[in-house]
Amino acid sequence: MRQTLETLSLGASREAVSMACRVLAHRGLADGVLGHISLLVNENALLIRCRGPRERGLAFTEAEDIHLVDLDGNPAADGELDGGYTVPNELPLHTELLRSRPDVRAVVHAHPPHVVAADLAGLPIRPIVGAFDIPGTRLAAGGVPVYPRGVLVRNRRLAKEMVTAMGERPVVVLRGHGLTSAAMTVEQAVLQAISVDNLARLSLQIRAAGGELVDLPESDLVELPDLGGSFNTATAWRHELARLGQGIGQVASAL
């Protein structure tokens, strides 16, 4: 019975990671074949989006693309990397965060063009909005650091540099590259990435319109309520899945 329950749990987790990959792509944060999401399942193993022989990109991720590996990228169960599947080149980006941050179980790595463009334009992620996006405003108010190297984070040395730049923050911008978002769940990690992308997009639009970026006053910030996880995460995630389902339906009807 225990083995059956563990198998069921892994199956549900694979599905959760695959859906998160599709949401990320549907939101425009992981175009093409770039980007990946991981979920720690125990102290020695994680589920991660891998590339296979029929790679089509994150928008088309299925549960079969999510594989169980150890922190060194080796199969953590029989057959996990059979069929030509390989772990991402940037696996250390995930595993170094998971090794060093006990508050993290899920890691998202994405390539949002708005985030890259805003950073290269010298526009940091700032709390420029209020009730428009309360979780995003609070995240920005705490600071979104930048890892200043536009490299492929393909080994532990580079990953440690990124983790150091990130500190204890939930998101770090990777210069000329994208972002890394970390949380206890894949849903929260993706929602954080969406908020940062929205703030970057607004910043670019404001500057393009000739405006100046102004942080939300502290007096307004303290008035923003915490609407709770059931709304900020659960309800927001149901919305993302509904958007995803609608998009899939539109694509299918157009074929």
pLDDT of residue 2: 34
Q: Write down the catalytic residue from 80, 90, 187, 240.
A: 90
Average pLDDT over residues 162-187: 98
| Choice between 9 and 71, residue whose per-residue pLDDT is larger | 71
Convert the pLDDT of each residue in 125-160 to its tens digit.
999 999 999 999 999 999 999 999 999 999 999 999
The two three-digit tokens of residue 74, written as one number: 């080796």
Q: Where are the domains of the chain?
A: 2-254
pLDDT of residue 20: 98
Fold of 2-254: L-fuculose-1-phosphate Aldolase (3.40.225)
* pLDDT higher than 50, residue 255: no
pLDDT of residue 247: 54
Q: What is the distance between the terminal CA atoms of the chain, rounded to a whole angstrom?
A: 44
What confidence category does residue 246 fall into, taking pLDDT thresholds of 50, 70 and 90?
low
Average pLDDT over residues 15-35: 95
* pLDDT higher than 70, residue 111: yes
Letter string b/e over residues 80-111, b meaning 16 or more CB atoms within 10 A of that residue's CB: bbeeebebbebbbbbbbbbbebeebbbbbbbb
90 is catalytic: yes
